[in-house]
Amino acid sequence: MNQKYLVSAVILILIAGNAFTGFLYFQTRAEFSRVQNAAIQIQAENKSLDFLEMLVVKVLQNEDEVSFDDRLLLENSVREIKDPLILSEWTKFSNSEDETSAQESIKRLLGLLVKKAKLNN
């Protein structure tokens, strides 16, 4: 009789331990998912900020014409952001016919990049 109670108690303890371990597993899995999403968000934000920095250095602070390599680097960088509004404004800027339209496009592009950085923080 005592042995039946002992076996029953051990089985209940094992079931409770498994339930607790399962609970911890799902809780940890949910936390991992949140951290992973945050990491993805930070990577996207960094791409936007890297492009913004590159745009300022290679276009706005540059006195000479932007080289082909720099334009290619900027184009690839803006595509990595994967934001259709930013890409559209970049295309308008890079296809500008005159200085006035280029200035307007760059203002809108910078505004979008700053707004994106603010939303992510």
- Residue 32: give the domain boundaries: 2-120
The proportion of the chain whose per-residue pLDDT surpasses 70, expressed as a percent, equals 97
Mean pLDDT, to the nearest integer, of 73-101? 91
Phi, psi of 108 (to 5 degrees): -65, -40
Query: What CA–CA distances, in Å, run from 56 to 19, 33, 53, 106, 111?
Result: 56, 35, 5, 10, 13
User: Of 77-81, 87-91, 114-118, which range is least confident?
Assistant: 114-118
Q: How many domains does the chain have?
A: 1
Residues found in the chain:
121
